[in-house]
Chain A
Amino acid sequence: MLTKNAAIAANRFGLGARPRDAALIASDPRGWLEQQLTTAQRAPSESSSPPESARVLQELRELRAVRQVAAQVRANAGTAPAARRGAPPPDQGSSSGEPAATATPGVPPGIDEGAIREFGQFARQHYMTYANERHRRAIETDQPFVERLVHFWSNHFAVSADKPLVGPLAGLYEQEAIRPRVTGNFYDLLLAAERHPAMNLYLDNTASMGEGSTAARLARNRGRELGLNENLAREILELHTLGVDGGYAQHDVTEFAKVITGWSIGGPIGPGGGGLGRPAANGAANGPGNGGPASNPRAAAFAGGAPGEFYFRALMHEPGDKTVLGKRFKERGVEEGEEVLAMLAQHPATAKHLATKLARHFVADDPPAALVDMLAKVYLKNDGELVPVYRALIEADDSWRQPLAKYKTPQDFVLSTFRALDHVPDNLQQITGILGELGQRPFTPGSPAGWPDIAANWDGSDALLKRIEWGAAVGKRVGAAAKGFDAADLTASVLGPVNDATLASIGGASDAGQGLALLIAAPEFQRR
């Protein structure tokens, strides 16, 4: 039987108790959480091998170039006005499961139709691979507190797979930028997130260029107006650091956007998908009706850097000093952005914003103000080191006072079910399927704000019925497979003390499968 505090440790701070966790947590729930922090894997030192995301992104770009050229050939042979105007067909097939937009009669000679489909298949396959890996890890881990922190920060620095190219990269983004740094310093986490290609593509920074930059000037000479896109800068200020009431103005957004012009992705092919809609330099060179790279100023600006990795494109960078939050930053190329991020990471508004989000995630939808203030102080006192903040959170009485204060997100709900069963399903894709049904398909918050973290966003009536229905299906499967399975025992070992009505209901089930279905439907199992 889990004690009340062991249940809080396993379910609120972890990802849900496994039957064997009672023995691991024993009489020291705080200690069980603390030791996870000290043994967590830290960021590896600079590795020379290119990250996996670079390889995947490069392959995606090549496949997409093939598709875009094919679309253009078709358009020239046929009708589609989209391509005639120089715009490629929108990417429909990358991650959303919709068929790629390739429905035109007859494939022109020289174009392999298989290659056109390959882009969508490659993208979907990578999306699913990383979603599966994420779920396997969450079910298997002995460090569920650290795993929850990975999910928390990945959601804080959210990218969304419903944008082209982001889907297949989202899981790698979490693995490469977030996971190694959740027990480090916030500045390192911030920098790694903003530099990652997935973030650059998601918030359009690859294509943002200073109006006074060389690249913009070259483009103007050719009659093309290219310039600033303030998306990433705004969301860094509003969502990743200061928070919406953190005391910045439109002027700061614009200046900061200039600061990070040039933060982009390397490689001979243009920044692609998320930022640029025209065929990338290589694709355009092969495509009819387009100038080759030599005549294209973008190609010049984009040549360079390791393919698929962060690359600072000096030619796109707005020259000159900039002023953000009243502080003047000298022209220093890529370092300018790093300096602004460092300032933001140390800002009291950032401390408050992060403390609020952590307290909301771990304690209550409306966390106690004293707890938030305390966490913010610890953050500032430790220069953004995160482990002391987590320690303070674990040690705070507020964190243990009210059990079951948080309504589980669909992800919490589904993962905690599999942990309760201590079972990784053979077909991991079913987890992505049910999360989609419940409104939380992996890596698709649909907004840079990430998934919401309060009950009102998740406790809709329809979503509740779907949880019950899914639990019933799980109960049927497990009940049929396992003779002698006792849902009442399982309740005690994964939920600890529960309401009499819950116990009576589960105890009085007509069979083991129904007992499990009732456990999964129980009020206590909807919360953490």
Chain B
Amino acid sequence: MNRRILLRTSVQLTLLAPFARLAHAAADTQARFVLVILRGALDGLAAVAPYADPQYRNLRGALALDAPGSDGGVLKLDGTFGLHPSLANMHAMYQANELAVLHAVATPYRERSHFDAQKVLEAGGLTPSTSDGGWLNRALAELEREGSERDAIALSESVPLVLRGTFGVGTWAPSQLPDTDADLLARVRRMYEASDPRLADRLIEALDARDIAGDAAAGGNGMGGARAGVQITPIVTAAARFLKSPNGPRVAAIDIGGWDTHANQGASQGNLALRLRGLDAGLQTLKVELGPAWQDTTVLIVTEFGRTVAVNGTRGTDHGTAGCAFLAGGAVSGGRVLADWPGLAQRDLHEGRDLRATTDLRGVFKGVLATRFKIPEAALETSVFPDSAGVEPLELAAV
């Protein structure tokens, strides 16, 4: 199939294909960053259980996980925390110092709407309506200004808010549609160029992405891929191909839904356990598929907020405040839990019901951008995260 060659020769003079930017980029472009957003609010106290907190067992009731060492017990991280037993691969990464666990983290948002919380998480402001576009897009625009541009891809049909903005970002999702002949694509492109340059740009981005992803789509079920939270293999496989491609993007965003466990959440087994197993397998696939590029990779896994400490009336948990996050990859100095643990005693809970936030997620974002992409702090606290001067970037290098 030579449609790419046909298109490329006729296109390159008129449009700078987004992924061609890298050819001109001067700075170190080896650093890779993957942002995984778990939509629906992952229960941080289930994924990373504070098994030794004196209140944990009592408050968590039927959802409490057993201590390390017992059947179905947590996988020990340190004397306080353990990973959910579904996260065996991540535990191995932790032991190999490739996974750092963050706890009691949250965005500045303190209400309990998924949708507003995701807006704050992705836009990077203080409130759901404070900013235009996403912080990762602004970071990429900043890199472009500094002459150190690199491309990004969203592994979904459309660009999530965190990557929306002035900097052009491509998307990719598994497809079962037949390839289209080059003649038709060239005609469509000319039609777009003549009257709708935005659509023309999109088309070129898509064709570039297809080129790199190759047959990663095989195995995709065509039914929303990562939406269900279990079928994430084709998505991460494609992400790995993009990230290790010589002229490919260096930043990728992956969405995984299905974490809103209001009812029948389960403990060591059950609904949430199944989802966590999918996440764990997905991260392992990413590592394997990236090969040597894993050494240059930072994966950050976040969610919009945590869930209530106490079990609700339907053996699930309701919307809460602070939760956990994960940093993984060969570029991460892991093997540690980063948590200023507020405790689960009644007086320590936010509004008497939620884990209190002691670390601002923006500090984690800033830390990644500062350490891995060398974005100056001045830019981080003004253009990338407005009103964040008081939020220290997490010191990742020392982690």
Q: When A225-B61, A463-B158 are in contact, do A468 and B227 touch as well, CB less than 8 Å?
A: no
From B114, B170, B222, B319, give the contact of A436 (CB < 8 A). Answer: B222
CA distance A446 to B156 in the complex (A): 14
A488 interface residue per 8 A CB criterion: no
Q: Which of A85, A437, A444 contacts B222 (CB 8 A)?
A: A437
Chain A residues positioned under 8 Å from B202 (CB to CB) = 459-461, 464
Stretch of B90-98, B308-316, B362-370, B389-397 that contacts chain A: B308-316
Q: Does A447 contact B (CB under 8 A)?
A: yes
Q: Are A228 and B313 in contact (CB under 8 A)?
A: yes
B15 to chain A, nearest CB (A): 13
Candidate in A274, A465, A473, A509 with the most chain B CB atoms within 10 angstroms: A465
Q: Does B251 contact A (CB under 8 A)?
A: no
Whole-angstrom CA separation of A211 from B311 in the bound complex: 13
Residue of A nearest to B231 (CB): A98
Quick one: which of B170, B192, B194, B224 contacts A446, CB cutoff 8 A?
Answer: B224
Looking at A175-183, A372-380, A516-524, the stretch in contact with chain B turns out to be A516-524
Q: Which residues of B contact A447 (CB under 8 A)?
A: 39-40, 114-115, 257
Interface status of B8 (Cβ within 8 A of chain A): no
- Interface pair A90/B196, CB less than 8 Å apart: no
- A444→B157 CA distance, assembly (Å): 15
| Contact code string B152-170 (vs A, CB < 8 Å = 1, else 0) | 0010111101001000001
Is B69 an interface position by the 8 A CB rule? no
Chain B contact residues: helix, strand, loop or mixed: loop
Decide if B314 touches A204 in the complex (CB within 8 Å): yes
Residues of B contacting A47 with CB < 8 Å? Answer: none
| Given A162-B228, A204-B316, A225-B311: A505 touches B187 (CB 8 Å cut-off) | yes
Distance to closest chain A CB from B127 (angstroms): 10
- A120: CB under 8 A from chain B? no
B63 CB to closest chain A CB (Å) equals: 11
B398 at the interface (CB under 8 A from A): no
B-facing residues in A117-160 (Cβ within 8 Å): none
Across the interface, A244 reaches (CB within 8 A) one of B115, B315, B319, namely B115
Specify which of A97, A209, A464 is in contact with B221 (CB 8 Å cutoff). Answer: A97
Size class of the contact patch on chain B? 35 or more
**With the chains together, A274 CA to B263 CA distance in Å?**
8
B72 on the interface (CB 8 Å rule)?
yes
Give bound CA distance, A228 to B316, whole Å. Answer: 10
Q: Does B143 lie at the interface of the complex (its beta carbon under 8 Å from any beta carbon of A)?
A: no
A207 at the binding interface (Cβ < 8 Å): yes
Interface residues of A in 460-491 (CB under 8 A from B): 460-466, 468-470, 472-473
* Known contacts A87-B266, A204-B262; A211 and B313 CB within 8 A of each other: yes
Known: A87-B270, A457-B158, A514-B184. A462 touches B173 (CB 8 A): yes
Whether B192 lies near A250 (C-beta < 8 A) is no
A231 touches B171 (CB 8 A): no
Interface contact A216-B313, CB-CB below 8 Å:
yes
A250 to B184, CA, bound (A): 55
Residue A334, interface by CB 8 Å: no
Q: Which of B71, B128, B156, B181 contacts A460 (CB 8 A)?
A: B156
A82 contact set on B, CB distance < 8 A: 266, 269-270
B274 at interface by CB-CB < 8 Å? yes
Q: What residues of chain B lie closer than 8 Å to A509, measured between beta carbons?
A: 187
- Provide the bound-state CA to CA distance between A130 and B257, in Å: 25
B14 to chain A, nearest CB (A): 14
Stretch at the interface among B206-214, B324-332, B339-347: B206-214
Asked if B158 contacts A449 (CB within 8 A), the reply is no
Whether A196 is near chain B, meaning CB under 8 Å from some CB there, is no
Q: Give the contacts of B105-135 with A (CB-CB under 8 A).
A: 111-116, 128
Chain B contacts of A227 at CB under 8 A?
312-313
Q: How large is the interface on A (under 10, 10 to 19, 20 to 34, 35 or more residues)?
A: 35 or more
Indicate if A293 sits at the interface (CB-CB under 8 A).
no
* Total inter-chain residue pairs, C-beta < 8 Å: 218
Among B61, B154, B180, B201, chain A packs the most CB atoms within 10 A around the CB of B180
* Residues A456 and B164 in contact, CB atoms below 8 Å apart: yes
Chain B residues with Cβ below 8 Å from A522 are 191
In A409-447, which residues have CB < 8 Å from any B CB?
A: 433, 436-439, 441, 444, 446-447
Asked if A460 and B266 sit within 8 Å, CB to CB, the answer is no
Q: In the complex, which residue of chain B has the Cβ closest to the Cβ of A514?
A: B184
A523 touches B195 (CB 8 A): yes
Chain A residue at minimal CB-CB distance from B168: A461
Give the distance in Å from the alpha carbon of A439 to the alpha carbon of B224 in the complex.
6
List chain A residues, Cβ under 8 A from B203. Answer: 461, 464-465, 468
List residues of chain A with CB within 8 A of the CB of B5. none
Q: How far is the CB of A504 from chain B (nearest CB, A)?
A: 8
CA distance A462 to B160 in the complex (A): 13
Tell me the complex Cα distance, A94–B234, Å: 22
CA distance A521 to B206 in the complex (A): 14
CB-CB contacts below 8 Å: A179-206 with B: 203-204
Return chain B residues, CB-CB under 8 Å to A521.
188, 191
B1 within 8 A of A: no
How near does chain B come to A34, taking the closest CB pair, in angstroms? Answer: 33
Interface membership of A458, Cβ < 8 A: yes
Contacting pair B173 A502 (CB below 8 A): no
Chain B, residue nearest A468 (CB): B188
In the complex, the chain B residue whose C-beta lies closest to that of A201 is B263
- For B263, the chain A residues whose CB sits under 8 A away are 204, 207, 229, 274-277
Determine if A234 is an interface residue (Cβ-Cβ < 8 Å): yes
21 A-B pairs within 8 Å (CB atoms) are namely: A81-B72, A90-B271, A207-B313, A207-B314, A275-B263, A276-B263, A436-B222, A461-B202, A461-B203, A463-B157, A464-B206, A466-B175, A469-B179, A469-B180, A472-B181, A472-B184, A501-B194, A505-B190, A517-B184, A523-B196, A523-B199
Name A's B-contacting residues (CB within 8 A): 81-82, 85, 87, 90, 92, 96-98, 162, 203-204, 207-209, 211, 216, 225-231, 234, 238, 244, 250, 253, 274-277, 433, 436-439, 441, 444, 446-447, 449, 456-466, 468-470, 472-473, 499-502, 505, 509-510, 514, 517-518, 521-523, 526
Closest 9 CB pairs of A and B: A277-B264, A227-B313, A501-B194, A439-B157, A460-B158, A465-B206, A460-B171, A461-B205, A461-B206
Known: A82-B270, A461-B206, A462-B157. 20 other contacts (CB 8 A): A82-B269, A87-B269, A87-B270, A209-B313, A229-B263, A230-B319, A275-B314, A277-B264, A277-B266, A437-B176, A439-B157, A439-B158, A446-B257, A449-B114, A456-B159, A459-B158, A462-B173, A462-B210, A463-B173, A518-B187
